Structure 1
């Protein structure tokens, strides 16, 4: 009986693995907020301490981005992806073991640091292994599945924590990490230029312009999205219905991503950035001038579509702008996105506390008009300079 040769390694992460890891990273990131009350009732934490777990997770999720990018450019994408999955699984298991504030806080900080490496590494892998339309379609698929992770976490985490146990919400990502590691067992490192710690290449003037633009985009797209559900509740909508209507964001992402797969073959990225920016303006327009449950639902839907069209185009730009420091650049890009969201939420918190949601979305409308011209114009300038060289 002849022995079968071992299977040949593959050098591209399977589409199914990319989508699942994208789903997993967003499920964990958005799984804790819906179960805040259950977490405070089922542990020794009070409500404010439970909120601090989310803030700490988000902080470490963001600040680890540049570090992961540098390590990825130096040692490779797959080693970062596997290390982060293993670490995230350990962090999720540690989150189950503790119910006191300090050890649970440490566990969630570590988990956020590990999960923060996943999505930018996926973007970098797409940049390494795909070109043109195929890359844009891969980014759209990744957005669909990450949005599904966000939606499932938003809808189910609170119910699971309340009806069963809050530990289950942390246990599921741990199981997912094991499954993701198994799916990568035959994958080998794709070929890409090794440039060491490419910090200088990632901080060129045009890169800095991109980080500034995505900082503003994060403030508008992710920072103000935070207020859609509270604004719905402010109109008198019940908590449960507000959560369901807020999931219009996920529907917008899915529909927008499907549309994006058709648009990328016909229009330039500059056009797509401009079109997505105008859609962002349209998202804030009804809520700024005619605030109601209907207008806030429209805002959620159009923010999702903007995320699928404009933000995925910005992601494609980030993977192209510095091939010699792709992972570092993408990590700074993601860091800028979350930093913008955090700053916007912080600056608008007082208005939200007073229920001035129309005013918040009005500021969003004005800044969106600025964003669409600056983003599209800067990308076109970069495109012409790149073509000339």
Structure 2
């Protein structure tokens, strides 16, 4: 049964703002290089370090959410994201910017996974797919908003503004999400190493991990450097951001299709069948 006080729009706002921070960097790499008078390759380290921290910090946040609670971890992560985005917007030099982006990557990575696990804790299976689709729609909109907003601000105002906006939204959400009820999931047993060992013993977990490697290379590699590649050919930052934003539009369309499909089809009922056992010998003996 869904817990009282659950608000999917408020929960979805967390992943939304983290996607703004995550995808705003693509169209602003060259404007940052121009402002700091640094090679684009050196500025790209900020993006690489961000995604490296994003991946390494996720297991830590997962273990923490099992013990401290999903909503508490989301709020802590959003508060840290607000601080990291503020430092990014105020960065006086490239080294400071790289440090701020490392902090941002290690902060934002907790929000979306914790939100999805929270949904699994509080939403019944028969309606869970539709709620997840709504959260992923917010992810898609945040992806498009980050790419488009980063390019627009870099072109007409300053690349710093998109991170300032993300900082304000994250700070507001860190407070507002206190209205969401905490889930009552049982804490996981065993330490972090034991939990990782249990996960790797599951075939589906191994498949998803292996599948995520090329998917991550595509999303975090190609999309991040596609916008600077366009800008290197003379395309302005706003147009480059718009091109990358089409990825978010495609994800949004896909989530709407999946939600409609899931609502029509619904979960398959599980029917129990007794095990088939061979008849005893006396029943097969000739009369």
TM-score in same-fold range (> 0.5): yes
Contact 1:13 1:184 survives alignment (8 Å): no
Cα deviation code 1:117-166 (max 9, x no counterpart)? 11111111111111224211112111211111111221221221232222
* Structure 1 gap segments, 5+ residues each: 1-9, 271-382
What corresponds to 1:361 in structure 2? none
Answering whether residue 211 of structure 2 is matched by residue 213 of structure 1, we say yes
Alpha-carbon distance change, 60 to 145 in structure 1, aligned in 2, over 3 angstroms: same
Q: 1:159 aligns with which of 131, 145, 152?
A: 152
Larger RCO (CA under 8 A, 6+ residues apart):
2
Q: Which has the larger Rg? A: 2
| 1:7-18 to 2 correspondences below 5 Å | 13-18=6-11
Q: 1:103 aligns with which of 96, 104, 129?
A: 96
Greater displacement, 178-187 / 213-222: 213-222
Alpha-carbon distance change, 55 to 228 in structure 1, aligned in 2, over 3 angstroms: closer
| 1:62-77 to 2 correspondences below 5 Å | 62-77=55-70
Alpha-carbon distance change, 132 to 231 in structure 1, aligned in 2, over 3 angstroms: farther
Answering whether residue 117 of structure 2 is matched by residue 124 of structure 1, we say yes
Answering whether residue 42 of structure 2 is matched by residue 49 of structure 1, we say yes
Cα deviation code 1:279-320 (max 9, x no counterpart)? xxxxxxxxxxxxxxxxxxxxxxxxxxxxxxxxxxxxxxxxxx
Cα deviation code 1:322-361 (max 9, x no counterpart)? xxxxxxxxxxxxxxxxxxxxxxxxxxxxxxxxxxxxxxxx
| 1:243-262 to 2 correspondences below 5 Å | 244-262=242-260
RMSD after superposition: 3.2
Alpha-carbon distance change, 267 to 237 in structure 1, aligned in 2, over 3 angstroms: farther
Matches of 1:24 and 1:32, distance apart in 2: 13
Contact 2:148 2:241 survives alignment (8 Å): yes
Contact 2:29 2:228 survives alignment (8 Å): no
- Equivalent pairs counted in the alignment come to 263
| 1:1-389 to 2 correspondences below 5 Å | 13-43=6-36, 45-196=38-189, 197=191, 198-206=195-203, 207-219=205-217, 244-267=242-265
Alpha-carbon distance change, 109 to 217 in structure 1, aligned in 2, over 3 angstroms: closer
What corresponds to 1:374 in structure 2? none
Matches of 2:133 and 2:207, distance apart in 1: 24
Q: 1:193 offset after TM fit, Å?
A: 0.9
Matches of 1:76 and 1:127, distance apart in 2: 13
Q: 1:69 offset after TM fit, Å?
A: 0.9
Alpha-carbon distance change, 54 to 257 in structure 1, aligned in 2, over 3 angstroms: same
Alpha-carbon distance change, 230 to 107 in structure 1, aligned in 2, over 3 angstroms: closer
Contact 1:126 1:139 survives alignment (8 Å): yes
Contact 2:152 2:241 survives alignment (8 Å): no
Matches of 1:238 and 1:199, distance apart in 2: 45
Matches of 1:141 and 1:110, distance apart in 2: 28
Contact 2:149 2:241 survives alignment (8 Å): no
For normalisation by structure 1, the TM-score amounts to 0.60
For normalisation by structure 2, the TM-score amounts to 0.79
Q: 1:27 offset after TM fit, Å?
A: 0.4
Alpha-carbon distance change, 184 to 222 in structure 1, aligned in 2, over 3 angstroms: same
